[in-house]
A and B are shown apart, each in its own frame.
Chain A
Amino acid sequence: KAGVTQTPRYLIKTRGQQVTLSCSPISGHRSVSWYQQTPGQGLQFLFEYFSETQRNKGNFPGRFSGRQFSNSRSEMNVSTLELGDSALYLCASSLDRPMETQYFGPGTRLLVL
């Protein structure tokens, strides 16, 4: 069974631009969660999607948004990029609920210049 995949793996953007990251969960998994990982703040929860609906949300500004499609694939969008958005963005999938065993993708490393 294929694991969680994320595209692209690396991305360089400039301040003020926007970016879209993609995550394909393990087949059959319906919950997709997104996390931001930085050296200073560690791993922080962004949001979780289930059946095309945002079910849970962390404490991030509205510039961070996401969506989920009917095939459970998810995208995350960051608008008006800031230098502090440079991070490793990880998505994780689980069968139904985020508190179950989560399987993580390799991440997308975003650098904002």
Chain B
Amino acid sequence: KQEVTQIPAALSVPEGENLVLNCSFTDSAIYNLQWFRQDPGKGLTSLLLIQSSQREQTSGRLNASLDKSSGRSTLYIAASQPGDSATYLCAVSTGNQFYFGTGTSLTVIP
């Protein structure tokens, strides 16, 4: 069974700092990997989706990389802002369903 782990579980950084969130998965036979953010009490917002054949995707200040062979993905956030405070989840797809990580709770301090 696919298992997805995110480290760290919580992270607190001052505004303006660049940061990296980590996601690891146990089975490299994935279809794609998706990063989401979740604000308290709300649903998930899709940030980036990386197909298994891709190495990275970029959207604005966000950059996600994928190393399928080692079972790792990173989400890089540049010049963090207080509005980036949320829980970040990664999810890997086997083609039939998504397996979600446990999430990283990010706090950006003004």
Q: Are A and B co-members of a single complex?
A: yes
Contact among A101, A105, A107 for B49, CB-based, below 8 A:
A101
Count A-side interface residues using an 8 Å CB cutoff: 25
Of the listed stretches B16-24, B66-74, B90-98, name the one at the interface; the rest are far from the partner chain. B90-98
Count, chain B residues at interface, CB 8 A? 24
Is B93 touching A42 in the complex (CB atoms < 8 A)? no
Residues of A with C-beta under 8 A to B96: 48, 55-56, 98-99
A35 to B43, CA, bound (A): 11
- For chain A, what secondary structure do more than half of its interface residues adopt (helix, strand, loop), or is it mixed? strand
Interface status of B76 (Cβ within 8 A of chain A): no
Given known A42-B103, A43-B89, contact A98–B97 (CB-CB < 8 A): yes
Which A residues are closer than 8 A to B by beta carbons? 4, 33, 35, 42-45, 48, 55-56, 58, 90, 92, 97-107, 109
Chain B residues packing against A (C-beta within 8 Å): 31-32, 34, 36, 41-46, 49, 89, 91, 93-103
